Amino acid sequence: IVSKLGIPALSVGGIMRCAIEEGTALGLVCREVMENDGLVPDDVVAGLIRDRIARKDCDRGFVMDGFPRTVEQAQMFDDVLAYTHERVTRIVVLEAPEDVLERRVAGRWIHKSSGRAYHAVTAPPSSLPPGASPTTLNMLDDATGEPLTRRLDDVEATLRRRLRGYK
């Protein structure tokens, strides 16, 4: 969809990580909440999305991944879209069993500077020996050999809280 339409794919997590890296006021709020294993409040998320979709690359539209997930978030998203004179034109809902989501989150590692993603079970880097538990010593980027990291929000407790909030 993104390549066919020439529009960006946006995810709440990606927008948050970018705001944290840029040191924006909302990014600092996100960092504090995430470091304490909390969920970033919807009004902060809405502000982050509003700021992101106001950028030039979203002039022709965008694909929003992972937001909204609740009725309250949908209402907030409508307000955000009204601010930029956008509207929702299509919705795709993907559902997965909670245990599958937990396994995905538990195994996810990233190369921070490139954004390359790995998974300890399904897409491990070549540095992870077969049968070994993933650590910062054996989870290395295939291209650079640099250590991979876990995202601040990739902890099972945070995922469980998110899932409870979506029900």
Tell me the pLDDT tens digit for each residue of 95-122.
889 888 888 888 999 998 787 899 999 9
Note if the pTM is more than 0.75. Answer: no
Tell me the pLDDT tens digit for each residue of 3-46.
898 999 999 988 998 999 999 999 999 999 888 877 889 999 99
Residue 108: closest CA among 30, 34, 13? 13
- Residues paired with residue 147 on neighbouring β-strands, in sequence order: 140
Q: Between the CA of residue 110 and those of 23, 56, 92, 120, what are the distances in Å?
A: 20, 27, 26, 11
Amino acid letter, residue 113: S
Q: Residue 51 in contact with residue 57, Cβ under 8 Å?
A: no
